[in-house]
């Protein structure tokens, strides 16, 4: 039986992928690295420090360390998130889950300060019982650890959770943790890569009470 709905943040609760692309492109250029669209898509869902390390291994630079570069990207994304609003269907989905007396949580690869700023700007900061950042986890997504730690903080089995994700790495993380997975991929993503998920939707606007029941949520 499902007890908890766990939400990724970037690309699921808020349209942030364009902001991440802009911030990463700008900061990478400042250290002499040109990123393609494929480069940016390959690291979706990963922690920024891991992304910066991958950049450095590909093309080492002199000057700021990878942690500083990662911090610059996060700072820029926070600036760009000013005025952000929830993606279509987010508020209705949160209401639907809460109406079925399901607990709500966030599990994100983003740094704590970005999560806090974004949820506050979206007006939903107080809706989640647990907000977990993988920033300091030994392993980030697609490893299951972030989702396992989220479940542990809630005091429930991961099998009692359904995760909502937009990226392949995040969906793999949740599935590897033994959670049910609802995927809401970017429109340009290859939906076939999400074939292991329990449900794949074009938008959270399409998520219904019937879906929640089918996933194992208690009825009313």
- CA–CA distance, 65 with 152 (Å, rounded to integer): 33
Say whether 10 is catalytic.
Answer: yes
Q: What is the signed CA dihedral for 50, 54, 180, 92, rounded to 10 degrees? A: 70
Contact (CB, 8 A) for 167 and 181: no
The alpha helices in 4-111, defined as continuous H runs, are: 17-30, 37-42, 48-58, 66-80, 90-99
3-state DSSP of 112-181: HHHHHHHHHHHCCHHHCCEEEECCCCCCCCCCCHHHHHHHHHHCCCHHHEEEEECCHHHHHHHHHCCCEE
Catalytic residue among 8, 71, 111, 166: 8
Sequence-distant (≥ 6) Cβ neighbours of residue 55 within 8 angstroms: 28, 31, 33, 35, 66, 69
95 an active-site residue?
no
Which listed residue (10, 39, 71, 166) is catalytic?
10
Active-site residue numbers? 8, 10
């Amino acid at each position: 039986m499902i007890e908890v709905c766990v939400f990724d943040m970037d690309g699921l609760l808020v349209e942030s992928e364009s902001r991440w692309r802009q911030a990463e492109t700008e900061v990478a250029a400042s250290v002499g690295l040109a990123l393609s669209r494929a480069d940016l898509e390959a690291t979706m869902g990963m922690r920024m420090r891991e992304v910066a390390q991958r950049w450095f291994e590909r093309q080492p630079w002199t000057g700021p360390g990878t942690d500083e570069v990662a911090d610059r990207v996060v700072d820029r994304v926070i600036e760009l998130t000013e005025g952000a609003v929830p993606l279509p269907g987010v508020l209705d989905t949160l209401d639907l889950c809460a109406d079925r007396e399901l607990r709500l949580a966030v599990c994100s690869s983003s740094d704590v300060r970005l999560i806090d700023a974004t949820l506050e700007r979206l007006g939903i900061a107080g809706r989640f019982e647990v907000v977990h950042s993988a920033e300091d986890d030994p392993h980030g997504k697609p490893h299951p650890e972030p989702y396992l730690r989220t479940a542990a903080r809630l005091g429930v089995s991961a099998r009692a959770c359904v995760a909502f994700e937009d990226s392949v790495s995040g969906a793999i993380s949740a599935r590897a943790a033994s959670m049910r997975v609802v995927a809401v991929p970017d429109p340009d993503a290859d939906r076939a890569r999400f074939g292991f998920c329990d449900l794949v939707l074009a938008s959270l606007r399409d998520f219904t009470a019937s879906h929640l029941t089918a996933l194992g949520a208690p009825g009313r």
